[in-house]
Structure 1
Amino acid sequence: MTLGGHGVESTPNNMLEQDNINKPSHVAIIMDGNGRWAEQQGQPRKVGHEEGMEAVRRVTRRASERGIDVLTLYAFSTENWKRPPQEVHFLMQLPIRFFDTFVPELQEKNVKVNMIGFEDKVPTSTKKAISKAMEQTKDNTGMILNFAFNYGGRAEILEATKELCKKVASNELSVDDIDERLFEEHLMTHSIGDYQDVDLLIRSSGEQRLSNFLLWQNAYSEFYFSELLWPEFNGDVLDEALLSYKNRQRRYGAL
């Protein structure tokens, strides 16, 4: 685990550009610190969320340039409904504004939009904006920009388990048929195919916990924690995390 600092400008980007050796295929980010950033600026929390949206644009651009296959962003958790109603309402509107202005650039960069999460409780207008962006970019073959929206890792695992139990009960399969591969086919991330497992997990704001994010998929991921708040993130910070990953040796329990 690495604790990221503020020296992002000195990241030797050429080391990342030289080759694709030890490049993560799937990068997942817990975007934390929007509210704290706004408070530090003496601004309402919604200003922090707006600046966080700009950070999403910056990091998405750089991830695409670096040849990342999947970038999964934790946009709204199943626990975030506990926040004040006015803040939840504002967060529900962000995807509408984001996709309305950013999809043309995503099209230009050949980025495909994907979404995982539970549709229940999500406003119709928000679901329509997300579905429209996915439809507009469905034929793109570059990086997958995967948003986890109204997502929770425990709930995802429970739902997969229930689906498998139903199939066992209806004699579609036996208990002995269930292995990791079959279980993963019932996870929300099955939509990103061979890239379900996270290679590099990044979290902003100095907090060091998973917060119910991709619990199965992060089983063997490398962690990178940064003290920077999410609105402060940019492409150079991502490069710093990628360079840290590049210099690690993953053993998956072996020697």
Structure 2
Amino acid sequence: MYALAFLAVPIIAVILFSFWTQDFMTLDRTFTLDNYREIAEKPIYTVLLQRSIYVSACVTLVTVILAYPIAYFVSFHVEPGRKSLWLFLITIPFWTSYLIRVFLWKVVLGYNGVVNSGLLGLGLIDEPLSFILYNVNAVIITLAHAFAPFAILPIFVALEKIDRSLLEASQDLGETRFTTFLRVTLPLSMPGLVAAVLIVFIPTIGDYVTPELMGGAGGKLIANMIQVQFRELNNAPLGAALALMAMVSVTAISLVFIFLNRRWLRRQG
């Protein structure tokens, strides 16, 4: 009942709104495809969606690649009595406001920020780098840091469930540590890896705070356009259509990823 009230009803409302039109304060509930025609005719919406998918894919790739070694180290090389401490340290960023973390990255990546000041002080650059703030690169860096704990924890849980005797048996049968990782550890940890990918990929497409503060004119994503339609242009139906388009795209990509992962696991088996 709660799932129906808090999930199904809002989605149905968005779907209905996407087939209506609005003229300032007047909402016309006549069924129409005008919103979707406008999306198809104006390339700006497609460009923003493609950019959003690209940014989310990059954030997911960077986050998972950096998260897996950390989760692996905590699971296999940290003493059992100290794993809780490590997990506690990993979750410390959650204690800080998301907005504060974004603003701190502005301080780090800014024209006179920590990175540029440090590189100038070391004599590695002659002038501050301009490509690390107010563009897509800054959005990817900030989102990767913000979602890192979301990737580490599910991978760690999956690694903890692996029976260590399987790893010992693999090495007893002549496998090296590297081949044991590829043929035993990685496939068995795949559920956590898939969870990490989905947990990071899905919400980053809908993030509009980081692109708004860090992206500049060239770093806006589809979520920023949805926000503009709802709040500034007072065109909720077009915003709903854009939201539905993004939702369908994310769902399709996620299902394809899950299908390919299952196919790979079957081949490994």
Point out the structure with the larger helix share: 2
| Higher normalized contact order (CA 8 Å, seq sep 6+, divided by chain length) | 1
Point out the structure with the larger strand share: 1
- TM score, norm. by length of structure 2: 0.21
The structure whose Rg is larger is: 2
